[in-house]
A = this chain, B = another copy of it.
Amino acid sequence: MHPTIKKLRKIMEEKQTNLCIAADVVLAEEVLELAEMLGEKICIFKTHVDILRDFTPEFTEKLSEIARRKNFLIFEDRKFADIGNTVSLQFSEGIYKIAEWADFINAHTIVGEGIIQGLQKVNKKSGLILLAQMTPKGNLFSESYALKTVEMAKAYPDFVVGFIGSSDRPEALAKIRAEAGEDLLILTPGIQLSSGGDDLGQTYNTPEKAIGLGADVIIVGRGITGAENPVAEAEKYREAGWVARKD
C-alpha cells in the first residue's frame, strides 16, 4: 500500500472521519481560519491556492503546521491537465511550488500517461489522484474513459493513490471500485446533505449515497463553508459519512 494511503487510513480511523473540506475562499486568512475551525472534523483539507488573492509561501507553511497539529492531510486540487513537460514545471516551479507541501494532487488523464510521468519526475511527497469522473451536468466522462483511467493508475502504483469518482453515475462508480481494488482511494465531490445543484451545472449527492457506492472520502464545500455554523455542519457531515460505512 502507498504510504500516503496508509497515513490517510490511519487518520480516518483515529478521528473517525471520511470528510474532506473544500476551502474555496479567496483570502489566505480565511483558508487558515477554516483549517483551524474544522481541522478536528476532517481527514483531508482541499485547497485551490491559485484563487488566493494574497498567496505567500508563508501561507503553505502555516497551513502545514495546522495540518500536523490537527492531524489531517492537504490536497491541492490543481487538476493538472497539460503535457508532461508543462505539468512537471507547474507542479514543482512557479510561486506555489506545490510539490513541496501537498500530500495529494490530482490530474486529468485525457492528455495520456505522459501527465503521470511528468508529475512523477519531479514528485517529492505527493500521492496522485486521477479524475475518473466528475459531477457537473453534460460532462464527457464516459464509463470507458473512467476504466481507462483506472488502468493508467495501476501502471503507477508508487505514485497514483486513487480517483475522483462521482455518485451521479452509480454503475460506472461501482466498476471503478471493482477494478481499482480495495487499496486505492475513491474521493467523491459534489456532496451535500440536501441534494440539488448550483447555477453553473454542478450537481449534489448525499454522503450516504456516495459512501454506499464505495467512496472512501466525501468532499464537501459550500454545504459546510457556507453554513451559518460551519463546525456544527461539519459534524453532521462527519457523522453521516462515518455511519454510512459498511464495515
Contact = CB atoms under 8 A, between A and B. Distances in A.
Contacts of A89: 24, 26, 48, 51
Contacts of A138: 112-114
Main secondary structure of the interface of A (DSSP, over half): loop
Contacts of A141: 110
Chain A interface size band reads 35 or more
B135 A83 contact: yes
A172 B90 CA distance: 30
Contacts of A26: 89, 93-94
Contacts of A194: none
A117 interface: yes
Contact of A108 (B49, B110, B148, B202): B110
Interface of A: 24, 26, 48-53, 55, 77, 79, 81-86, 88-90, 93-96, 108-115, 117-118, 121, 131, 134-141, 145, 148, 198, 200-202
